[in-house]
Amino acid sequence: MSTVAVKPGTRGDAKSKWSRALPPHVRWPMLIVSLLAVNVAICTVTVVRAVGGGGAAVEPSYDRKAQNFEASLMAVRASAALGWSAEISAVGGDAGDAETRPSLMRVVMRDRSGQPIDDAVVRVTAFHQSRADQAVSLTLVARGLGVYEVPLNYELKGFWEVRLTAVRAGEKFQSVQSVFVTP
């Protein structure tokens, strides 16, 4: 059997420079403090990312809307009784260019019998669901055959919430829909 001599202070030595430099009663507390420091760093990054960037999706005047919940239910029922429908989509852009985002919001309005509604005033409030504080309110332009459009820069892909209000001859239709936007 052959034995190999190992020089002190090399890898084969059971006691490296690190273990000789720091006694065990210092190494363990340093390990614990290091792990706690990593945890604090991760928590700090998480909080900064969560708070920054305008991502809060808080409903404006939510307390007043909660107090008027019955009125909101009546508006939803009145819209359902009209029998109107609104098909909302994001259109435009160059289909061959993956970087081009949709550039128009299109709404197709139909009555109970499926006939186009051309003479309504259609307004929308739209926002990306992660950016409720950046809502835009727009009035759409009638294009005929129940089609209404407005230019809209969809800066973010994903789900956009669209709150639509259409008024025609004293009748009011309201709808809240999600529209998925892909670049």
Count the domains in the chain.
2
Position 123 scores a pLDDT of 96
In a shared domain, residues 44 and 69: no
- Token pair, residue 31, equals 């390990």
In a shared domain, residues 70 and 44: no
In a shared domain, residues 168 and 81: yes
Position 7 scores a pLDDT of 61
pTM: 0.65
Last residue of a domain, one of 25, 51, 77: 51
- Look up the CATH number of the domain holding residue 108: 2.60.40.10
Position 96 scores a pLDDT of 47
In a shared domain, residues 27 and 90: no
Question: What pLDDT tens digit does each residue of the chain (183 aa) get?
Answer: 566 565 655 555 555 565 567 787 888 889 999 999 999 999 999 988 877 765 556 677 778 878 888 888 888 898 899 999 999 998 875 544 545 557 888 999 999 999 999 999 999 999 888 887 788 899 999 999 999 999 887 778 888 899 999 999 999 999 999 998 876
123 and 139 in contact (C-beta within 8 Å)?
yes
DSSP 152: -
- Amino acid type, 12: G
In a shared domain, residues 90 and 125: yes
In a domain, 176, yes or no: yes
Specify the 3-state DSSP secondary structure of 157: coil
